[in-house]
Structure 1
Amino acid sequence: MADKTKLTNMLADKVTDYKRFAFILLALSVFLFIGLIVPNEGVSQYQQIALIGLSVCSLAFAALFHKKAMKAQEQLYSEE
């Protein structure tokens, strides 16, 4: 009984953490994208490409963490 409760708590904590990671990465990608939109004369082409790449990577990792959160949540519901 204690092991099942411990597993349930661990899965619930994982779901919460993964959702937080996904939200933070999503917010980061929004800020990076805003940095692309705001006109700035001193930004080189390389810096713009770097911002685009970082924004896309951040979105990809946010999607990955969201998928992991949903997988852990399904496990949590199957355990209960």
Structure 2
Amino acid sequence: MLKGKVTDYKRFAFILLALSVFMFIGLIVPNEGVSQMQQMILIILSITSIVFAFIFHKMAMKFREQLFNEEE
């Protein structure tokens, strides 16, 4: 069960990192029709997804450590 959680949390972290990269690329690509408010929303969402990716990665490492402790 812990091994499944580790795998799931690592996948969640990777997906969130990929999502934040795509949102950041959306900020870099020049669009004349994008308002300042839309750019701020993309920045906030990018930062939020990076933070959640970090949290999921930390949880995966915590569960992996528990898994290794149980095996010993």
Question: Do they fold alike, i.e. is TM over 0.5?
Answer: yes
Please classify the TM superposition score into its range, dividing by the shorter chain length. Answer: over 0.9
Aligned residues: 71
Identical aligned residues as a percent: 75
Confirm or deny that 1:25 pairs with 2:16. yes
Confirm or deny that 1:52 pairs with 2:25. no
Alignment of 1:1-80 (within 5 A): 10-80=1-71
Question: Any stretches of 5+ residues in structure 2 without a counterpart?
Answer: none
Q: What letter matches 2:56 in structure 1? A: F
Write the distance in 2 (CA, Å) between the matches of 1:45 and 1:39. Answer: 13
Question: Any stretches of 5+ residues in structure 1 without a counterpart?
Answer: 1-9
Structure label with greater radius of gyration: 1
Runs of 4+ in 1 over 6 A off after TM superposition: none
Q: What letter matches 2:32 in structure 1? A: E
Q: TM-score, normalised by structure 1?
A: 0.88
- Please, what is the CA RMSD of the aligned residues? 0.2
